[in-house]
Amino acid sequence: MRMKSLLLLLCGGLSLMLASCANNSGTSDTGATELPPREGRVHVVLFTHIEDSAPGGTLGSAECRASYLRLRGKLIEMAELALSYDLQWVLQPDWKILEAARLYEDATTMADTGGKNFLLYMRDDLGVVIDPHSHENGGYNYTDVAYLLELLQVGGSTVIGGHIWDPSLPEFAEWDRFRVPVHGLKYPEAVWRGDILIGAGTPGHVNDPVVSGLWRPQDRDHFFTDDPAGNIVAVGAWHDEVAGVQELIDLYAAGRVAPGLMLTASWNIRPDTITAPDGLHTIEETVLVPIASMRDDGLIIVTDFTTLVSTWQTAYGGEAFLYMP
C-alpha cells in the first residue's frame, strides 16, 4: 500500500518534499536489511558528457583521427585517476566520438588497451559506467547513440543522459516520448527506451532546476509531481558541485531531512577541463580529493545512475522525495 504526502520544509527558504511510502523492505550497501536507512548519506554521481562536436574535424580525416586519439588518451587518464581513488566515474558520449571509435579503433590503436576498443577497456578494466548522451543533432537521436554503444560492446544502459524539462519549451521538452520504445533516426532498425532521466535542464542551462532526490514525473506540465505509476524516474542534480554536496550532508546532520529519504547530487566534469594542460590535477584537487574524503567519512556514496535508482527502489522503498529550496 502506498501513501502520498506533501510536506513543507523550512530550511533557509521554502522547500518542497514529495513522498510516497512503501512497505517493502530493502538491502543497504552493507548487506543489512533496513528500511528506512539508519544513516543519511548523499548519493553522488560524477559524470562527463562528450558532446557531438568532439572529436574535432570531419570524420575520416587525419585531423579528426588526431583529435580523437588525443581525447581518447585523456579520457583513459581520467578513468585511471578516478579508479586510483576508488571513485565511480560515468562517461556519457554523444554520437560523434562513437562513430569515430568505429573508424579509428584498430589493432594499432588498441595496442595500449589490451586489444579492446577504449570504451570496452574503460568499462571492463577501469570500472567506468557508460550511458547514452544526445543533443539529437546531426541526424542522430538517443536511440542511435544507444545503438552505437551496443555496436561497440558497451550498450545496455537505459539512462537518458541529459534532457530538456521546461514545459514552456514544448519543441524541446519531449522527455515523455520515452514512455514507449523509440526508433532510431540514423539507424531506424534500432529500438530503445530510456527510463532514467538525469541532468534536467534548459537550453544554455540558464534556468536549470535546483532539486535533489528521486521521483517519477507525472507529465510535462507537472514534472515535479510524483506519479507512483510512472515508468520513468528522474534524478535531481542539485547544484554547486562539492559545496552543494556539503549542503546536503548538513541537512542530514541537522535532522532537516530524515535518513530514510534519499538526497542526490551529480555534475558534469567537463571534457575541456579533462583535456586542459593541468586539467586532471585540477580535477583531482578540487573534486576527487574532497569527494573521496566525504566518502571515507561515511557521509556520501559515490555511484552511477543505474545503481542509484536500483538502491532507491530497494533500500529506500522507491519513496519519492524532492528537496527544492
pLDDT value at position 229? Answer: 97
Residue 276 is classified by DSSP as S
Would 1 be classed as within a structural domain?
no
The Cα–Cα gap between 154 and 149 comes to 5
Rounded (5°) CA angle 187-48-250: 135
- Three-state DSSP class for residue 313: helix
Residue 191 belongs to domain with CATH number: 3.20.20
Cell 556519457 belongs to 92
Count of structural domains, the chain? 1
Q: Which domain holds residue 58?
A: 8-22+35-323
The Cα–Cα gap between 196 and 231 comes to 9
pLDDT value at position 207? Answer: 74
pLDDT value at position 171? Answer: 60
The alpha carbon of 239 is separated from its chain's Cα centroid by a whole number of angstroms, namely 14
Would 212 be classed as within a structural domain?
yes
Would 29 be classed as within a structural domain?
no
pLDDT value at position 205? Answer: 64
Closest CA to 306 of 40, 47, 18: 47
pLDDT tens, residue by residue, 250-263: 999 999 999 999 99
pLDDT value at position 215? Answer: 98
Closest CA to 325 of 263, 270, 235: 263
pLDDT value at position 165? Answer: 73
pLDDT value at position 163? Answer: 84
Would 28 be classed as within a structural domain?
no
Q: Identify the segments of the chain with pLDDT beneath 70.
A: 1-35, 170-173, 204-206
The Cα–Cα gap between 162 and 49 comes to 9
